[in-house]
Structure 1
């Protein structure tokens, strides 16, 4: 049986608090509720299998009694009876042998009844075959229950990730989130596969064997139970020592995964700045921490089995000694003692198995707690269905389309750190609005509020007169095309990546894809690739340059045919000539649409209808390019900083 040490894990800092083992364990068990009918069938098959397995030793004991009786009877003279033989031994003063033979059902002069022995053995064979078949049914049902439960947990995690607000992902490392969605769920699956059926079988076996032992000999049953308190103490002590190590082991899995993911994603930068050794040292530190936690957890839990075997052997010796004395006194037959010894093994083995599975259960529940922490994370506010027309504000309703108004908008990431305060601006349909300002001024935050990636903390934003907080996010975002500075491509063909911009319910033709690519000036380089639009890209976009990836994402925005266009440094990765071409294409795309352009290169926004200059979350200036330059304010200073040919002298 492999423990958690054989799985992919990571290490890190110790946990800050102890795990709620009991609460998380109960919640994990409640995940099986939808499979309760199958679970009852599984339990029924397991109970019948254990019952047959428990009867087996008693039947074999009957066979032993028949053989022993035949051996004894063959050595006695024919013509007498068992009673006469026993009385004759007592008259000779051999009371010990007389007491023992009094408990044996022999007939003087008759040997082993092989027919009766054969019948008993056939019965035992049938019982054990039946037990095996029923256990096979129970195991198959158990596997089905576990896989369906884990399937639902994966669906719950996926659905939860789609409901989490952007701020959750801003606060969590990507590797940590991925670790919970993959490693921890896999660990839960493996834990349940290795423990669920066996644990139920072991517990039922303990109950069934105890019942049989008390029925056959209460005295021997009590002798067998003498070692149980010792077993419980051993299991409790070892489990208490190993549990914190398993919690630490799985709680820090995401930390090492996050480090590996970051170093792999930024592999080129790590090499450029010569940070390989520093990165390797950080990995070694976390790997050493994992080694320590894993070693302690596995060592502490690993001593469970030898200790339980020692207790089991004590039990075996006690039963053998007391059982032998009972046979000598004639109180028990030798077959019953043989059965009892088998029962003592059947009783000790499940106890050992239950104790040995404690480490797996602790590891699985530790992972379950991490999953439940994710599932309990605060979700984004649910969509509120507003008045009629709210859902159709961006879906092609008649009248003005794309009028955006920010009315006394305030926002802060942290309650005590205001970022945007009392911001008001109106953008008319079809206008191109450029947003400029220094880093951290709130430009991208403003767009995130428009997309409802974050909710405003004060004021409101309206689209065609409808408060976007009363619109479904899906309806709002379906009418907004967005091109970010950080490109994102998925594994698939270039055509598939461009088609991703269209609605999921809309069938996109190859002609539409190529038309969007031509509009974004991506068609030329795509056709130079060996497979053209059918060229397969991986999720890193290997095989195309950063600028070419940017063109693909811009083509995606063209294909979406949005009401509002948002460009966040969308041309930052393309050359100057292509940038000019894209600006012309954007002008065509923006015709009749409201466009928000975030730009640091002020040369790209000269033709904007309105330029908003932001500083510290507020709009300090707004106007046209020429007007703002003439005003000689913040915009003029930004422009001069980029284009003035000044000589800086540093003392």
Structure 2
């Protein structure tokens, strides 16, 4: 019952997506009716033609000529109506699929970071691409064959009743077996197709992981274990694929067998009726044609039912993704903060990714405009988490976090993040030119502004050595430039934005020592008059910070300037000495 409700709700969702295109649905149904009517009228003409040539000297030439002309007109009507029906069907299907993809992509853009962190990236990719494609195929087949099949069944019954009600009753009494068989198999294929989609998602995630991290895979000789993981998923996909295809493939031959019994019964019974003079040979010919046409839709619909089960399973996964809870929307009275001054204040902030495992505990700090705040501490102490809270990638559990005196929850996310510039340890570049990558946060920037930002980031010199300079196309992972050059481009991207607050999370970790000194000098100019949060493991990079926050186990345990903290001989001093013991 629960599964039936799920399928029913999925169907309702699909029908709601089709509703905006109801005029095309009406056109499709009209053309389907016209196609079926003209197709079913043809056997009548064939039967009349047979009766015109049943014996020597009894050939009606004029009547045959008239029938041939009528038959050609019927064929023309069938062809045109079928063509228009296909156009309408394709329009409905591809518009609905486009709407679903748009909804899925829009949802992906407003999903909270928490969802992204807790799900494999390949899962979302599989739902938006593969599952939507499977849904499209099933929907297209359903429209093209289901409606014409149903109309054909009722149409042939009407024509057969007009020829001989007795034989029609025989046909109608046997054919419900086809529905029983198709329904019995369809119930068992839905879950199999759902499991198959999930296995396909796992495979997409693994392939994406292996391709995106190929250097790490090779560096740690992970190929063997990756192959084992792939083998397990591939085997699961193979087994579920075989089972789903096996059960779904039983539908067509089963219904064909029953329909063949129907056709055989019609032929035998009709032959006896023709011998006894109950119907003419032409009528028997027409009836046999109708019996054949009557059984065909059952074969087609049984195939459609199988495809629809796959489509429904995929649609369910897509709708589940679209229905995921988005990040908390901005308050109705949220302030659209313009270029701020850069003051930041945290008061008794608590936060945890998992409720039963607190991470940030009672953290308080104040950064005045223009101050340079360094955050240091061992791995896992909560440094990057503080940055996530400042950017509102996650909302704090309790306490207060203010930017320029505004509670962060009362600011729009877009305006908040426009006041931050980030340079992270992990670089990210998009597939495009160097200029487009630098102007990622300011697409309307002039080439002069881009070049100025690149010069400040010390990236201009290596850019000018590239084949097409600022118009050189780089791949998404920046495979055709070095890691240090990628970082310089990311720094230039922030240089161009000139935000009031900077976040530098191990920003110089991928740059050689000589370049780092130059970039540090550029950072000094950039940070002048701007509030800066510098997350660093290399303590040599934060000696000049106005305030150094030392974190451990989610708490700020020490606070002060470099020399002040060293003189205390506390945790910071031990960290510093561990890095410069030999010095």
Scaled by the length of structure 1, the TM-score of the pair is 0.87
Q: Which range moves more in the overlay, 235-244 or 181-190?
A: 235-244
Q: Give the aligned partner of residue 592 of structure 1.
A: 529
Match of 2:102 in 1: 155
SS where residue 252 of structure 1 aligns? helix
- Root mean square deviation, CA, Å: 1.7
* 1:382 to 2:329 alignment: yes
What secondary structure, in the 3-state scheme, does the structure 1 residue paired with 2:548 have? strand
Contact persistence 1:436–1:600 (CA under 8 A): yes
Provide Cα deviations, 1:613-636, integer angstroms capped at 9, x if missing partner.
Answer: 111211111111111111111211
Q: Does 2:198 match 1:258?
A: no
1:521 and 1:621 mapped to 2: Cα distance? 34
Which residue number in structure 2 is paired with residue 129 of structure 1? 76
- Tell me how far 1:18 sits from its aligned partner: 9.9
CA spacing shift, 1:244–1:18, aligned 2, 3 Å? farther
Number of residue pairs aligned between Structure 1 and Structure 2? 581
Q: Give the Cα separation in 1 of the matches to 2:497 and 2:326.
A: 28
Aligned twin of 1:108: none
CA distance, structure 1, for counterparts of residue 16 and residue 167 of structure 2: 39
SS of the aligned residue for 2:53 comes to: helix
In the alignment, the residues of structure 1 paired with residue 46 and residue 175 of structure 2 have an alpha-carbon distance, to the nearest angstrom, of 26
Partner of 1:94: none
Point out the more displaced range, 413-422 or 466-475. 413-422
User: Separation in 1 of the partners of 2:424 and 2:351?
Assistant: 22
Deviations 1:378-422 (A, max 9, x none): 1101111436xx313xx236xxx1111112211111121111122
Aligned to 1:636: 573
Q: How does 1:32-47 map to 2 (within 5 A)?
A: 32-47=18-33
Map 1:60-459 → 2, pairs under 5 A:
60-68=46-54, 71=55, 74=57, 111-386=58-333, 390-392=335-337, 395-396=338-339, 401-459=341-399
Query: Cα deviation per residue 1:308-330 (whole Å; 9 max; x = unaligned)?
Result: 22212111111111112222232
Structure 1: gaps spanning 5 or more residues: 1-16, 75-110, 647-651
Q: Is the 8 A contact 2:502 2:527 kept in 1?
A: yes
- Confirm or deny: 8 A CA contact 2:501 2:530 kept in the other structure: yes
| Aligned counterpart, 2:482 | 545
What is the CA deviation profile of residues 159-204 of structure 1, one whole-angstrom value per residue up to 9, with x for unaligned ones?
A: 1001100010000111111111111111111222233211111111
Cα distance between partner residues in 2 of 1:23 and 1:232: 22
Could you tell me how far 1:548 is from its partner in structure 2? 1.0
Instruction: State the Cα deviation string for residues 120-176 of structure 1 (Å, max 9, x = none).
Output: 222122122212211110110110111111111111011100110001000011111
Q: Which of 1 and 2 has greater Rg? A: 1
Q: CA deviation at 1:19?
A: 9.8
Task: Measure the CA separation in 2 of the matches of 1:62 and 1:204.
Answer: 24
- Structure 1 pair 282/396, CA: closer, same or farther in 2 (3 Å)? closer
The answer to whether the 8 Å contact 1:483/1:553 transfers is: yes
State the secondary structure of the residue aligned to 2:347: strand
| Conservation of the 8 A alpha-carbon contact between 2:32 and 2:81 | yes
CA distance in 1, matches of 2:171, 2:124: 49
1:472 aligns with 2:412: yes
Alpha-carbon distance, 1:34 to partner: 1.1
Q: Distance in 2 between matches of 1:572 and 1:19?
A: 54
Contact 1:614–1:620 under 8 Å retained in 2: yes
Is the Cα–Cα contact under 8 Å of residues 375 and 534 in structure 2 kept in the other structure?
Answer: yes
Structure 1 residue 307, shift from structure 2 partner:
2.1
Contact conserved, 2:360 with 2:555, CA < 8 A, in 1?
yes
CA deviation after TM superposition for structure 1 residue 54, in Å: 1.7
For residues 129 and 210 of structure 1, the distance between their equivalents in structure 2, rounded to whole angstroms, comes to 24
